[in-house]
Amino acid sequence: MDYADARKRMVDGQLRPNRVTDPRVLDAMRELPREDFLPAGARARAYSDEDVPLPGGRSMVAPMVIARLAQVAAVRPGDRALVVCAGTGYGAAVLARCGARVTAIETDAALAAIAGRALAANLPAGAVRIEPGRPTEGFAAGAPYDVILIEGEVPEMPATIAEQLAEGGRLVTVLGNGRRGGVAVLARRIGGAVSVTPVFDCATVALPEFQPAPGFVF
């Protein structure tokens, strides 16, 4: 496969027609080799217009969804960013290419290992720091953050993570019920309060770490 050509086709055929206009996001996704952020057996699907399954019930988020989330996050050079459930690191790499200083939370050792290799090969040292914290708790040690990306679908806005936003900070994720009918949202901290606004409909895989424990059935 000609991956460079596939990246160009992804940008021109998936991102631009879906209202991705931020030149930094387009450049980042045109230049980053998405295939490097996948296990060897899944690289042929790197540029497909869909989530790519990963071990542990996780997925690499579809290109259009990650691009629009990154665009809505409106990263500014020097922003402190947190990526929760970073998986193999692609979303973190996109934010870093847009100018953010990124902390990425990933508890799955196999996914974090792929992320470490891919990030080291494609970004300057220290651009993204991988931490093994608990996803539902964010990473308070590095707070406050200008940008937070929860990379997947969650059932509700996690208050503990939203509290780690700086004044004027932006949190982007997908809210849904696990039935592939979610909505991307932007949460902003203004005047100390966090407000949540829907920004576009989309579908992505629910993050297992955020799902409620099953109750008893009688």
- Report the greatest alpha carbon distance in the chain: 55
Q: The dihedral of CA 156, 160, 164, 165: what is its sign?
A: positive
**What three-state secondary structure class fits 40?**
helix
| pLDDT tens, per residue, the chain with 218 residues | 899 999 999 999 999 999 999 999 999 999 999 999 999 999 999 999 999 999 888 999 999 999 999 999 999 999 999 999 999 999 999 999 999 999 999 999 999 999 999 999 999 999 999 999 899 999 999 999 999 999 999 999 999 999 999 999 999 999 998 777 899 999 999 999 999 999 999 989 899 999 887 654 44
In order of start, what are the domains of the chain with their CATH numbers?
3-210 (3.40.50.150)
188 CB burial (10 A radius; 0-12, 13-18, 19+) = middle
At residue 56, the pLDDT reads 84
CB contact at 8 A, 199 and 205: no
- One-letter amino acid identity for 95? L
Three-state SS sequence of 113-124: HHHHHHHHHHCC
